[in-house]
Amino acid sequence: MLRFIIRRLLITVPTILVVLTITWALVRLAPGNFYSNEKAVPAAIEKNIREKYGLDKPWYQQYWKTMRGIVRLDFGTSLKYEGESVNAIIARSLPVSATVGILAYLLALVVGIFAGSIAALHPNSKRDYASMTLAMLGISIPNFVLGPILVFVFALTLYWLPPSRWNGFFSRNLILPVLTLSGLYMAYIARLTRAGMLEVLRSDYIRTARAKGLSEWQVVTRHALRGGLLPVVSYTGPALAFLVTGTVVVERIFVLPGLGNYFIQASLNRDEPLIIGIVAFIAITLLLANLVVDIAYAYLDPRIRY
């Protein structure tokens, strides 16, 4: 297992460098720059700005400077949020995205596993059809549609919940963003749980467990659920990494100061250090999450270790 982890970590480093190189190149190839606006910038001022930020140097020197800072986990200073380091912006916005993302995924796990298990234990029944119909609705309705619907119903019509804005980690303002974000993941987890459980319930060792006299509850919780959740575990890694590092649509709808919102602003402002810093953080988080999933797979299914 240790050799496997070391191998994966050695592959992770060049993968991150490739992702960051492509990102850096795309930002440079995109038209415009961070200091341009509707009015033309005088040539003398543009020259001074380019000298200040090192944009007048050859591209390979600029690339080397950027990569050298990333290796030291120093992403530089934002070009638009003057005087603020990218590290400080990520540290400030990450807790917001992580709070909403983790709460949304925990809710999705509980509801999705419960709905998928009920559907698998009663295949082709009304419960199965009802669960899978709701799952299909969750997959079909995108966040940018579900969010405004929830705001219209619960905030503007019933006046039960505030519509938007960030008001701390334990405020009622979190309810609508969490519900909006969890809808799609509830649906996917329910379908994955149902498919995994159906396959496991037909296995020989499940029949053996029942033949030994184990109760249905013990068969489901100790054997069927453990094997049936393998697809959910595989899905959890990239999904949770994506949620924790910010979701652009939900953060824009509910005006949350998370990583996703900052990433959109950085893209609009051509804020290269902030774009690369957020992309680097997301890439590292995603690759590490996949590594954790592979390790969890080995513990859940002993066959994988061999």
Domains of the chain (ranges; CATH) run: 93-305 (1.10.3720.10)
For the cut 50, the answer to whether the pLDDT of residue 103 exceeds it is yes
pLDDT score for 240: 80
Separation of CA 275 from chain center: 16
Burial pattern 282-299, b for ≥16 Cβ within 10 A else e, equals bbbbbbebbbebbebeee
Q: How many angstroms separate the CA atoms of 95 and 131, rounded?
A: 33
Tokens of 282: 């997301």
**Predicted structure pTM score:** 0.81
Average pLDDT, integer, range 140-148:
87
DSSP 45-66: HHHHHHHHTTTTS-HHHHHHHH
Mean per-residue pLDDT of the chain: 82
Q: How many angstroms separate the CA atoms of 169 and 183, rounded?
A: 21
For the cut 70, the answer to whether the pLDDT of residue 14 exceeds it is yes
Residue whose tokens read 């960051």: 20
Average pLDDT, integer, range 37-44:
67
Q: How confident is the model at residue 306 (pLDDT cuts 50, 70, 90)?
A: very low
Q: How many angstroms separate the CA atoms of 146 and 256, rounded?
A: 17
Closest CA to 247 of 290, 280, 292, 282: 282
